[in-house]
């Protein structure tokens, strides 16, 4: 699979005929005779090739006058893996749009974050995706509206504004145009599902939301919303959830009843999320203080679990190395555990320099206790009490209060200042090479710290950790070059997926980060 796949008509037709779900999100099929658009894996009988046209985004289909298929629900397919593996302006723009930037700051805000003019951004998105930033954000709002309509008891007026629409009329018109149904009809047609174990949907559900009566109730009291996060198979959850659970900071994160749970700092408030692996989806249970944060929360959870990755492309490349091939065949589809807050992870990476996982948790827990923000609403299901301290909350940190070596205290305070004054920007819009260079320029930041932040916070799929103790141990045991320079040279054949090779190498160890908790 590659950039611009929608222009390869022959390949797209083969994908549609094979109903291969791996292509969902890479392109969309618009059917000229019916006026609908579908995901490649749509279960209906494929149309004739001459009646199919292909678009790179749902927004482009909608702009061309097509409505979403009611059978395959193309708006709920996994996102394109391209936005995770690329660092150019279009990919960064798509990550920002998914994070709600256009809804909060408009197209000028999007352009400012990217360092381009609004005209440049619009031209680039239109050229590659067939739709500009407003149309792409509108398609996302439509999906959020559908989710709220089908899974909550909120009145339509509240749903309209929670989904990001400027008026109820625009909301009604968009829903009718995209789904060919009025909002009330869409709610009436929604499958009646009940929540299954650990907040997941009950048997018989499909990828998408689970109906939870009263979720996000209009009374103003936060209530849970259960939904299913789809992913491209295969997915091996052991190292993904094992890593998050083993490094969980008390009060901010926990493993409880088969789910990884944590607090979320969101644009309009805070939230709690519980995420649990299932054979064909991730069960997600969200409790939000403001329903306007739903789209952002889902986007950040997907990013945390690397759910929009293309495991087939990754594993096919890594299998070309005879040393890695058995590791991939044993547990295909490993993901990179990432983060919901880039600044938080950078702080935690500094706290974890040259110490054990347990020690890093202890240092982070002390920081949370002293400087974290207590949540205003109690956690209804467990022991989550705080949001991790923001850079602003750490601005007046007295380094003498930290039980860290003096050099590491200086590293931490320097990082906080860089994040505060804007000299260092870590976010979905970050240019990966530029951010890595700025990290390396900070005192106390070596290649390991910069690259672990690039891998897990920035999402660079090619970040590599040749000096990491676990990687060097695995290399020796597997017969790979043991020195960082030699291992880096050998790993050139793994590009652009070296971050995933790190996961396979780490998994050769019996460390708790590689074990799915009971």
Tokens of 97: 């749009």
CA distances, 436 to each of 11, 315, 439, 446, 486 (Å): 37, 26, 5, 10, 22
CA-based torsion, 384, 512, 516, 305: positive or negative:
positive
Q: Where are the beta strands (DSSP E) in 11-153?
A: 28-31, 36-38, 52-55, 67-68
Tokens of 359: 């020690």
Residue 281 and residue 207 in contact, taking contact as beta carbons nearer than 8 Å: yes
User: Within its chain, how far is the Cα of 277 from the centroid?
Assistant: 15
Question: How far apart are alpha carbons 426 and 419 in whole angstroms?
Answer: 8
Question: How far apart are alpha carbons 46 and 51 in whole angstroms?
Answer: 10
Q: Which residues of 189-207 are buried (b: 16+ CB within 10 A; e: fewer)?
A: eeeebebbebbbbeeebbb
Interacting residues of 316 by C-beta distance below 8 A, sequence separation 6+:
none
Q: Which of 38, 42, 72, 284 is catalytic?
A: 38
Question: How far apart are alpha carbons 49 and 30 in whole angstroms?
Answer: 11
Residue 470 in 3-state DSSP? Answer: helix
SS3 string of 399-436? HHHCCCCHHHHHHHHHHHHHHHHCCCCCCCCCCHHHHH
Is 301 catalytic? The answer is: no
- Could you say which DSSP state residue 201 is in? B
Question: How far apart are alpha carbons 295 and 302 in whole angstroms?
Answer: 11
Residue 288's H or E segment, with its range, is strand 282-288
Residue 152 and residue 216 in contact, taking contact as beta carbons nearer than 8 Å: yes
CA distances, 412 to each of 48, 388, 407, 446 (Å): 61, 15, 9, 13
Question: How far apart are alpha carbons 491 and 93 in whole angstroms?
Answer: 30
Q: Are strands 67-68 and 36-38 parallel, antiparallel or unpaired?
A: parallel
Rg (Cα) of the chain, in Å, rounded?
23
Residues designated as active site: 38, 468
């Amino acid at each position: 699979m590659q950039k611009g796949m929608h222009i390869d008509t022959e390949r797209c037709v083969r994908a549609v005929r094979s109903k291969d779900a791996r292509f969902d999100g890479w392109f969309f099929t618009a059917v000229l005779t019916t006026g609908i658009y579908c995901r490649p894996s749509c279960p209906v009988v494929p149309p004739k090739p001459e009646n199919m046209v292909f678009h790179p985004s749902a927004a482009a289909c909608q702009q061309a006058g097509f409505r979403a298929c009611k059978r395959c629900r193309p708006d709920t397919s996994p996102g394109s893996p391209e936005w995770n593996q690329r660092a150019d302006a279009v990919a960064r723009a798509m990550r920002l749009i998914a994070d709600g930037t256009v809804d909060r700051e408009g197209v000028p805000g999007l352009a400012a974050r990217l360092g381009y003019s609004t005209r440049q951004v619009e031209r680039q998105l239109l050229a590659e995706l067939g739709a500009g930033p407003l149309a792409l954000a509108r398609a996302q709002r439509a999906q959020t509206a559908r989710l709220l309509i089908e899974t909550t008891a909120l009145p339509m007026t509240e749903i309209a504004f929670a989904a990001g629409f400027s008026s109820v009329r625009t909301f009604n018109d968009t829903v009718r145009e995209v789904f060919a149904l009025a909002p009330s009809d869409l709610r009436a047609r929604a499958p009646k599902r009940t929540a299954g174990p650990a907040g997941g949907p009950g048997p018989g559900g499909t990828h998408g939301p689970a109906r939870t009566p009263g979720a996000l109730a209009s009374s103003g009291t936060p209530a849970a919303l259960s939904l299913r996060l789809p992913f491209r198979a295969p997915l091996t959850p052991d190292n993904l959830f094992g890593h998050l659970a083993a490094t969980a900071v008390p009060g901010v994160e926990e493993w409880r009843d088969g789910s990884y749970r944590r607090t979320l700092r969101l644009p309009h408030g805070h939230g709690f999320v519980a995420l649990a692996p299932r054979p064909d989806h991730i069960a997600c249970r969200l409790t939000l203080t403001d329903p306007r944060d739903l789209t952002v929360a889902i986007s950040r959870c997907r990013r945390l679990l690397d759910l929009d990755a293309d495991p087939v492309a990754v594993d096919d490349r890594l299998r070309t190395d005879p040393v890695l091939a058995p590791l991939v065949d044993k547990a295909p589809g490993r993901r990179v555990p990432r983060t919901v807050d880039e600044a938080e992870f950078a702080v935690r990476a500094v706290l974890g320099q040259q110490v054990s996982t347990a020690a890093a948790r202890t240092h982070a827990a002390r920081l949370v206790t002293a400087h974290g923000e207590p949540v205003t609403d109690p956690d209804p299901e467990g022991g989550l009490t705080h949001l991790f301290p923001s850079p602003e909350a750490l601005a007046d940190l007295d380094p003498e209060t930290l039980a860290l070596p003096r050099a590491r205290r200086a590293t931490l305070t320097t990082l906080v200042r860089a994040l505060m004054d804007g000299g260092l920007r870590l976010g979905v819009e970050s240019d990966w090479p530029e951010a890595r260079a700025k990290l390396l320029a900070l005192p106390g930041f070596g290649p390991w710290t910069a690259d672990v932040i690039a891998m897990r916070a920035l999402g660079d799929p090619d970040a590599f950790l040749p000096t990491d103790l676990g990687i060097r141990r695995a290399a020796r045991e597997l017969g790979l070059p043991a020195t960082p320079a030699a291992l880096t040279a050998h790993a050139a054949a793994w590009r652009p997926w070296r971050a995933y090779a790190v996961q396979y190498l780490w998994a050769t160890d019996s460390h708790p980060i590689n074990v799915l908790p009971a």
